[in-house]
Amino acid sequence: MIEALINMVLLTLLAAIMIGVVRLRNLFAVVILSSAYSFIIATVLIVLDAVDVAMTEAAVGAGISTVLMLAVLFLTKTEEQKPKHSPALPLFVATVTGIALIYGTLDLPAFGVPDQPIHTHVGAYYLEKSVEETGIPNVVSSVLASYRGFDTLGETTVVFTAGIGVLLLLRRNRRRNGKNGETS
């Protein structure tokens, strides 16, 4: 009962923050609200017992992303321009996507049901065999580094590529300002 109440409060906070992000034109406030959103998502992940994912969300979502967005704001304007088009089409697309996602969850089993395949053979197999097969004493580390090694490599590549892209964009903007003799 208390866990359900905590989830309801957290999800309400997430909805309120997203409304604020959509409504605000001050980009500094949007960055700060996005950071708060990441912290609350990390809290939700802790409630769901995914502490490793929560730590990653807090570090990347609230930490690195916030710093990068603040650096970009330093080089650009801090106020968003008024939109030149009606928000009807994006709102329609978001609504249809939301309805499709909700429809897709109707056939899912109840959350945490112990007799689902993920709980009956895969998880138990990892717990029983991971130390023997990988030699890594931490089961989470063995799953991430060995069983899902290619997936982890792919995720690392995506984050690295995104970081390089941001650095290239910032460098290009700095060069442009240096050639024209202007400052941001």
Task: Indicate the pLDDT class of residue 176, thresholds 50, 70 and 90.
Answer: low
Domain-embedded: residue 65: yes
**Is 44 domain-assigned?**
yes
Q: Give me the domain span that covers residue 37.
A: 1-81
State pLDDT tens for residues 114-125.
787 777 777 788
DSSP string, 63-128: IIHHHHHHHHHHHS-SBPPPPSS-THHHHHHHHHHHHHHHHHTTTSPPTT-TTSHIIIIIHHHHHH
Q: Is the pLDDT of residue 179 over 70?
A: no
Instruction: Classify residue 88: in a domain, yes or no.
Output: no
pLDDT tens per residue across span 58-80: 888 888 889 888 888 888 877 77
